[in-house]
């Protein structure tokens, strides 16, 4: 497993495609995919949005994260850094932000490589 993180609009997905040689058909979009597809897809994009969706549906994002690690250990996961700001007033936004940090940490612990992308430039921060 690889984890690719960074802020919004930094070119994380392009970086993932270039680095792995995978094509656009290999991307599963966490914003709208069905849950089952994240256990098979090669690149899981927008994992932070998936977490928000899970919380909205009353599901446990930590459980889903652990299942991804178990069932899809070679996946490339892309997750936004969303924690470097002020605590949001909205309860859902607050929970999602916290869960993104926690789940991202679990993913990073289980990843061989972790990249942080800034301005399109990936820096390897683990592995």
Binding residues vs another protein (CB under 8 A) = 6-11, 48, 80-86, 88, 93, 97, 100, 118-121, 123
Minimum gap (Å) between residue 10 Cβ and another protein: 6
48 vs 111, which CB is nearer to another protein?
48
Residue 62 C-beta-side C-alpha neighbours within 13 Å: 7
21 vs 85, which CB is nearer to another protein?
85
84 vs 91, which CB is nearer to another protein?
84
Edge-to-edge strand ranges of the sheet holding 76-80: 27-29, 43-45, 76-80, 2-6, 113-118, 121-126
10 vs 72, which CB is nearer to another protein?
10
* Cβ contacts of 44 within 8 Å, gap of 6 or more: 28, 30, 38, 50, 68, 72, 75, 76, 77, 78
Minimum gap (Å) between residue 81 Cβ and another protein: 5
Minimum gap (Å) between residue 26 Cβ and another protein: 22
Q: Residue 112 carries which DSSP code?
A: S
Minimum gap (Å) between residue 22 Cβ and another protein: 20
Distance from C-alpha of 127 to C-alpha of 115, rounded to nearest angstrom: 9
Q: Are 2 and 22 in contact (CB under 8 A)?
A: no
């Amino acid at each position: 497993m690889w984890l690719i993180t960074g802020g919004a609009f930094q070119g994380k997905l392009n970086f993932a495609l270039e680095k792995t040689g995978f094509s656009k058909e290999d991307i599963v979009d966490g914003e709208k995919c069905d849950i089952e597809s994240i256990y098979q897809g090669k690149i899981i994009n927008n994992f932070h949005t998936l977490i928000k969706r899970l919380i909205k549906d009353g599901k446990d994002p930590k459980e889903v994260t652990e299942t991804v690690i178990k069932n899809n250990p070679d996946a490339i996961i892309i997750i936004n850094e969303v924690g470097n700001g002020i605590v949001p007033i909205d309860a859902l936004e607050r929970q999602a932000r916290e869960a993104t940090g926690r789940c991202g940490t679990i993913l990073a612990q289980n990843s061989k490589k972790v990249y942080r992308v800034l301005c399109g430039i990936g820096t390897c921060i683990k592995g």
